[in-house]
Structure 1
């Protein structure tokens, strides 16, 4: 009997199924150093213990997306090893910071199933929770993926499509305990722009671009222990290309957004996200943002800003055509909340 696994296929999932993901991972300063080497990330709160202490935290956390990538990576062997595409995200909340020394693990619940009309694949919805060594949830989110069937003749399950909130309500955003921006140093942070300086509907071209290199995106994906075949094995696609992990695009765009949003310090929630078109080595990623909403919080000096972050190979401001289809240059459309000084 074989001791290896080919991963789960669409017919292996059941509504309500709980999947515990291997392997727990202790976070160190190494993740931060590699993250800042792979992406042009330089947000002050994640770069300096002293800056973080002045903002009411015990020390500098690791970038929020480090926690997201680690938790996400653990789900890949169980959820998306045989995925055709990662389709979207919703209801993502960052519930508390992740610090060096924390050990993260994750589990997922299957909350939706729907076979595609071709009978060869189906969509699987899961709610994933990442927990630290104390059992406290550090983040949770829903994502849905298109997964191959092992046997096209396997019977289709009754379709269950979960109803998901389009936006995490401002009152449901969690501000880390102790966070206080009343002593915030704008000079050290890199820009003077406060929460109140951003207008709903405003668009920001983040100007800079980074060309994706094969070795770097593969290194990043391995860093998060993401084992999806399409990122490493050229035989998985008819064109022989390696697909860049969508999270690599998210982190690159978020890091590029520093220019114009340097004070968007912490990610509080992911409302929605779509990997609009595939990204490959050689593509140059640029980013632009649109301000969608603003909300107050009860934390001293802290406001919440809702942003659309778009990663593109083309011009800023371009998103969809008249028919509502994404422009082929658009790689990512991410709707998220950030915390910043008022």
Structure 2
């Protein structure tokens, strides 16, 4: 009270660990209508060249009505909605699992997100805890276009708050190809390898093969900030240098994911669509001035029921130092130059 007037707080400080309960469903603000502008900005931020996301005519030759929004652009929009409610006070985004792209996102679609809390575990230091959520993205028809699980380490507001009962969800280590949803109408039987940019098809890849994608991109502060704003990701560590002891703004992990996926075009130009996300870890922080390079290991291969469409399970690794194929040290920990370890399923012509 001051001068007889009660001062009410209208701002949102974000949720802390003790604010989450098992089964809690969070409806995230604010719906976002996506258009060709998102595609243009995505391709400006990342040198994205996969033909199916670059050309309506190419997408139509593959059985789709038009070129959808890039799969990771759709992921970023859905993810960005969750940040104010899930990771505004996060210390780290720890991992992903069971991600599935269920329907293409078209220019003109309006996306919204919900998250269900499926796991909680307070850390032994009593200052933080891990929160698992299953996030779903919906279009304007209430069709689920994307779902995935992620877990984050979140600060406690009250260090004396009682620890919740520990619940760690049982998650698949990897999706089976039968779990993947192939876009309706997708048909690669008349696929144009010349227009796509490379001749390599499903049968040309071998399990265990490591592909060095050769190219590198130095991350700049301005483009990282533009990306973070574009996806409406309000996490404090990406905007406010005072949030970290070193005074550096942390590069948004999704920016690293998209950059690595784009770099993988050189060697995987025909891995056109991401259909499943098996696992992922942001192994080490990325900062402005770091040069991102990428390599991929082929983990598995499978046929699908769609005409001419095969699936590759790929391990995409983004690095700022180190050789292709180098991931962890003798202690089992990620090497300091490894930024991202992402395990996903991609659709490719057979």
TM-score by length of 2: 0.97
Does 1:335 find its partner at 2:343?
A: yes
Cα separation, 2, equivalents of 1:111 and 1:331:
27
Tell me the equivalent position of 2:266. 259
Match for 2:282 among 275, 280, 284?
275
Q: Tell me, in whole angstroms, the C-alpha distance in 1 between the residues paired with 2:164 and 2:34.
A: 39
**1:21 maps to which residue?**
28
Aligned counterpart, 2:138: 131
- Write the distance in 2 (CA, Å) between the matches of 1:241 and 1:256: 25
Which residue number corresponds to residue 238 of structure 2?
231
The CA deviation string for residues 123-173 of structure 1, in whole angstroms up to 9 with x for no partner, is: 000000001011111010000000000011111001100010000111111
Gaps in structure 1 of 5+ consecutive residues: none
Between the aligned partners of 1:323 and 1:141, the Cα distance in structure 2 is 30
1:318 and 2:326 correspond: yes
Note the C-alpha offset of 1:5.
1.1
**Matched ranges for 1:61-100 at <5 A:** 61-100=68-107
Counterparts of 1:216 and 1:316 in 2: how far apart (Å)? 26
**What is the RMSD computed on CA atoms of the aligned residues?**
0.4
Deviation at 1:316, TM superposition (A): 1.6
Bigger Rg, structure 1 or 2: 2
SS of the residue corresponding to residue 22 of structure 1 reads coil
Alignment match, 1:246: 253
User: Where in structure 2 are there 5+ consecutive unaligned residues?
Assistant: 1-7
Number of equivalences = 342
1:226-280: per-residue Cα shift (whole Å, max 9, x none)?
0000000000000000000000000000000000000000000000000000000
**1:80 CA displacement:** 0.2
1:276-291 to 2 correspondences below 5 Å: 276-291=283-298
After superposition, residues 138-157 of structure 1 pair within 5 angstroms as: 138-157=145-164
State how far apart, in whole Å, the 2-side matches of 1:208 and 1:81 are. 33
Per-residue CA deviations over 1:198-225 (Å, capped at 9, x if unaligned) read: 0000000000000000011010010000
Paired position in structure 1 for 2:196: 189
Q: 4+ residue runs of structure 1 moved beyond 4 angstroms? A: none
Aligned to 2:223: 216
TM-score using structure 1 length: 1.00
Instruction: Please give the alpha-carbon distance, in whole angstroms, between the structure 2 residues aligned to 1:172 and 1:87.
Output: 23
